[in-house]
């Protein structure tokens, strides 16, 4: 009587083991990373140099009104270095929102070309985290 019970237990154990292996294999499969992903990743923001990539656009389109004493309490003079930029992520998010909403620059101010505006928004988003 012991032999059939032992055989049954062995077969049952083997079936459970194989079922467990199959389930484990299904749940651990990982798709390869996309190599053409161009989202605003942290690697992209690490490559972004505020002084070289963003500041010139701000000087051309934002600082005429938001330099010195600023306009409506907003002055951007302090954003002159990469270190200052790194400490002001929230400012960049707000700037991107203003640009996207069409609030800035005002219609009476010098307007950036669409491609420059799109790049500035993307850069500000990358800097804003």
Q: Where are the domains of the chain?
A: 42-128
| Cross-strand bridge partners of residue 74 | 71
d(CA 87, CA 127): 10
pLDDT, tens digit, 9 for 90 and up, residues 52-109: 999 999 999 999 999 988 888 888 999 999 999 999 999 999 999 999 999 999 999 9
Q: What is the DSSP letter of 71?
A: B
Cα(69)–Cα(124) distance, integer angstroms: 22
Global pTM value: 0.63
70-78 long-range contacts (CB < 8 A, ≥24 apart) are none
């Amino acid at each position: 009587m012991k032999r059939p019970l032992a055989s049954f237990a062995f077969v049952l154990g083997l079936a459970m083991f194989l079922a467990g292996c199959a389930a484990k294999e299904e749940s651990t499969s990982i798709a390869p990373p996309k190599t053409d992903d161009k989202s605003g990743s942290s690697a992209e923001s690490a490559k972004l140099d505020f002084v070289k990539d963003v500041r010139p656009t701000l000087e051309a389109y934002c600082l005429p009104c938001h330099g010195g004493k600023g306009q409506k309490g907003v002055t951007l003079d302090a954003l002159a270095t990469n270190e200052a930029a790194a400490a002001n992520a929230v400012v960049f998010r707000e700037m991107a929102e203003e640009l996207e909403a069409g609030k800035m620059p005002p219609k009476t101010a010098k307007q950036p070309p669409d491609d420059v505006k799109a790049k500035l928004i993307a850069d500000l988003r990358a800097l804003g985290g």
